């Protein structure tokens, strides 16, 4: 008990890795838990690359050329680029819902969206429908690329932040490895299950996440549901009114941080540039 009290009294920067793990076990667990989103992000495109070489997939989705079934280079490029294109768009748009609704709620909605996208992939019977599933699925997967590192960096102390955000890369490698293992085990099947089984196994991760997500704490970073600012009066004078609120069970304590809006940041930065004496 005395040791735990002494660790709590130390600043975060003074904690070693082992001490930080011992003190912030719950934060560590949930940071790793959110990395399951990154695992799904890596699994899907890796599966698609393997399916293009599967005889059963080529037979059902390709065309006959010189006695063998094949998929044209244009369609191979389209299917492989569907997820990356969607990820670019999704990652660029992820910041707004994360600010409005919080990391946890946004993550949960994305997981539900992933379940729907897997349905499109699983039941697709043409390359066109499969491409739509890859594009929409990539859009949702792009959110994971932003939510996971943001959540991990906000709930973890300084001593753990670098390691647990780097754990995201480990999750990506694990997802790619699992995709290769699954496809290696199904490639010799002569039915549609050769390519539908790898798609179906993607439902496993959303189920695990949805079971555990209600127990996950929200990030300690405030959202627009907890803090509201009126940035400027009609005269241009900076004035703020804060609606008091608290985030739920932040692992490092419940805290509300004051942050200005984008417009205010731009105006104050311009004022500092042109009137440096007034701002020190």
- Residue 263: per-residue pLDDT: 52
Residue 2 burial (C-beta neighbours within 10 Å; 0-12, 13-18, 19+): exposed
Q: What is the pLDDT of residues 218-276, one digit of tens each?
A: 876 554 444 443 343 344 444 333 333 333 344 444 443 444 554 554 454 444 444 44
In the chain, the percentage of residues whose pLDDT exceeds 90 is: 36
Where on the phi/psi map is residue 177: left (φ > 0), alpha (ψ -120 to 50), or beta? Answer: alpha
> Do 199 and 230 meet the contact criterion of CB atoms below 8 Å apart?
no
Cβ–Cβ under 8 Å, residues 260 and 222: no
Domain boundaries, the chain: 2-215, 220-280
Using DSSP's 3-state secondary structure scheme, residue 209 falls into helix
pLDDT at 234: 41
The DSSP code sequence of 246-279 is --S--TT---------HHHHHHHHHHHHH-GGGG
pLDDT of residue 110: 94
Q: For all residues of the chain together, what is the average pLDDT?
A: 77
3-state secondary structure of 202: helix
pLDDT for 154: 85
Tell me which of 20-34, 67-81, 171-185, 237-251 is least confident: 237-251
Categorize the per-residue pLDDT at 108 as very low, low, confident or very high, splitting at 50, 70 and 90: very high
15 vs 169, residue with greater confidence: 169
pLDDT of 255 reads: 41
- Report pLDDT for 180: 94
Q: How confident is the model at residue 143 (pLDDT cuts 50, 70, 90)?
A: very high
How far apart CA 146 and CA 165 sit, in angstroms, is 11
pLDDT digits (tens, 9 = 90+) for 17-58: 778 788 888 888 998 899 999 999 999 989 998 999 898 999
Query: Which whole number is the average pLDDT over 203-208?
Result: 93
Give the separation between CA 259 and CA 261, rounded to whole angstroms: 7
Task: Give the residue ranges of DSSP H helices in 94-126.
Answer: 95-101, 103-123
Mean pLDDT is lowest, of 53-67, 93-107, 161-175, 257-271, for 257-271
Q: In the prediction, which pLDDT does 220 show?
A: 61
For residues 116-125, one letter each, b for 16 or more C-beta atoms within 10 angstroms of the residue's C-beta and e for the rest, the string is ebbebbbebe
| pLDDT recorded at residue 10 | 55
Q: Which is more confidently placed, 248 or 129?
A: 129
Q: Identify the pLDDT of residue 64.
A: 83
Query: Pairing state of beta strands 68-70 and 63-65?
Result: antiparallel
CATH hierarchy code of domain 2-215: 1.20.1250.20
Pairwise CA distance, residues 42 & 44, whole Å: 6
Helix runs in 201-256, H state only: 204-212
Task: Give dist(CA 147, CA 171) in Å, integer.
Answer: 14
CA distance 280 to 275: 9
Lowest mean pLDDT among 66-75, 155-164, 259-268: 259-268
Neighbour count for residue 111 (Cβ, 10 Å): 22
């Amino acid at each position: 008990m005395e040791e735990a009290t002494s660790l709590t009294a130390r600043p975060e920067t003074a904690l070693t890795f082992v001490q930080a793990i011992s003190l912030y076990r719950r934060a560590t667990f949930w940071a790793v838990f959110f990395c399951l989103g990154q695992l799904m992000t890596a699994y899907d495109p890796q599966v698609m690359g393997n399916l293009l070489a599967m005889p059963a997939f080529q037979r059902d989705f390709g065309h006959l050329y010189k006695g063998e079934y094949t998929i044209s280079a244009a369609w191979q490029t389209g299917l492989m680029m569907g997820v990356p294109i969607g990820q670019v768009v999704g990652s660029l748009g992820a910041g707004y819902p994360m600010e409005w609704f919080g990391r946890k709620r946004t993550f949960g909605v994305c997981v539900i969206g992933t379940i729907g996208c897997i349905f499109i992939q699983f039941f697709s019977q043409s390359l066109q429908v499969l491409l739509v599933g890859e594009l929409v699925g990539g859009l949702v997967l792009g959110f994971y690329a932003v939510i996971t590192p943001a959540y991990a960096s906000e709930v973890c102390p300084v001593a753990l932040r670098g390691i647990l955000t780097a754990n995201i890369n480990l999750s990506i490698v694990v997802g790619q490895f699992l995709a290769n293992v699954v496809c290696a085990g199904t490639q010799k099947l002569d039915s549609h299950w050769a390519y539908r089984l790898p798609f179906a196994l993607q439902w496993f991760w959303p189920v695990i996440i949805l079971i555990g997500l209600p127990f996950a704490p929200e990030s300690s970073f405030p959202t627009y549901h907890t803090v509201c600012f009126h940035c400027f009066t009609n005269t241009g004078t900076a004035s703020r009114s804060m609606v008091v609120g608290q985030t739920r069970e932040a692992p490092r304590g419940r805290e509300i941080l004051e942050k200005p809006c984008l417009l205010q940041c731009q105006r104050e930065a311009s004022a500092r540039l042109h009137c440096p004496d007034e701002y020190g």
